[in-house]
């Protein structure tokens, strides 16, 4: 997968890709991430990328020209499965969306700032709008990092134990059951006997029961 990220803050974006799972995916050459600084595409001397809103109103709006030029430049080099705009009024990201988008070959992610982008950017180029939750961030960069992490870890070969992504919370509309590691007893608190029994059929049954109980308590909406 190749991910092209368009941003006014490339430095803010880089470090999450330099550690942990995303770094490993890049080292294994399963993912390429390219950062494009929007200011490199401006045609004005001040390199400004935003302006006042027509019609009045608080907050600046990102200009169409540098974004259009940047996206056209990228599109002239390859085909993209999706051109994504990170925005609080997009579709809320969930595991099902992450699963399907982890299969893309090339995507562009546009990070918004200030009030957002000129509507003509959306009309011209954007094929999908994604929000990471019902709250407003100062820019799309953090959302882009969240989105990239969610899809990259699902690319086959990225996680060393591939079954571990399959048993994540949400993968089957259930939250994960409780998990334990050594020691078997800590400050009088014991690991449930069943997990030490070696009876894998029973363990699986226990996990399913606990996952259901946990989901009922915490996220009954997932079971509807």
Any binding-site annotation on 137? yes
Q: Which residue is nearest to ligand ADE (CB)?
A: 143
CB of 146 to ligand ADE, least distance (A): 8
Of 33 and 174, nearer to ligand ADE (C-beta) is 33
Sheet order of strands, 2-7 included: 32-37, 2-7, 106-111, 82-92, 128-131
CB of 112 to ligand ADE, least distance (A): 6
Any binding-site annotation on 132? yes
Of 10 and 88, nearer to ligand ADE (C-beta) is 88
Tokens of residue 95, six digits: 């595991």
Of 112 and 177, nearer to ligand ADE (C-beta) is 112
Q: Which positions lie near ligand ADE, rule CB under 6 A?
A: 86-88, 112, 131-133, 135-137, 140, 143
Of 133 and 183, nearer to ligand ADE (C-beta) is 133
The span from the CA of 179 to the CA of 204, in Å, is: 12
Any binding-site annotation on 112? yes
The span from the CA of 23 to the CA of 15, in Å, is: 9
Closest CA to 84 of 62, 99, 104: 104
CB of 95 to ligand ADE, least distance (A): 16
Of 26 and 142, nearer to ligand ADE (C-beta) is 142
CB of 128 to ligand ADE, least distance (A): 12
CB of 47 to ligand ADE, least distance (A): 22
- Binding site, by residue number, is 112, 132-137
- Binding site for S-adenosyl-L-methionine, by residue number, is 112, 132-137
């Amino acid at each position: 997968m190749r991910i092209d990220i368009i941003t006014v803050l490339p430095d803010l974006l880089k470090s999450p890709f330099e550690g942990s799972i995303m770094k490993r995916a890049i080292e294994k050459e399963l993912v390429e991430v390219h950062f494009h600084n929007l200011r490199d595409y401006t045609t004005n001397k001040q390199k400004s990328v935003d302006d006042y809103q027509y019609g009045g109103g608080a907050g600046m709006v990102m200009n169409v020209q540098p974004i259009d030029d940047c996206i056209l430049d990228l599109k002239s080099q390859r085909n993209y499965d999706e051109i994504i705009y990170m925005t609080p009024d997009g579709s809320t990201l969930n595991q099902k969306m992450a699963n399907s988008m982890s299969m893309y070959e090339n995507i562009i992610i546009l990070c918004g700032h200030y009030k957002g982008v000129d509507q003509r950017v959306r009309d011209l180029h954007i094929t999908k709008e994604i929000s990471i939750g019902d709250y407003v961030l100062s820019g799309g960069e953090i959302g882009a990092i969240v989105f990239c992490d969610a899809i990259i870890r699902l690319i086959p070969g990225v996680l060393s134990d591939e079954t571990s992504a399959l048993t994540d919370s949400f993968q089957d509309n259930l939250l994960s059951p409780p998990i334990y590691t050594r020691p078997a007893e800590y400050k009088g608190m014991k690991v449930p006997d069943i997990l030490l029994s070696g009876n894998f059929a029973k363990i699986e049954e226990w996990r399913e029961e606990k996952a259901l109980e946990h989901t009922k308590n915490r996220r009954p909406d997932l079971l509807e």
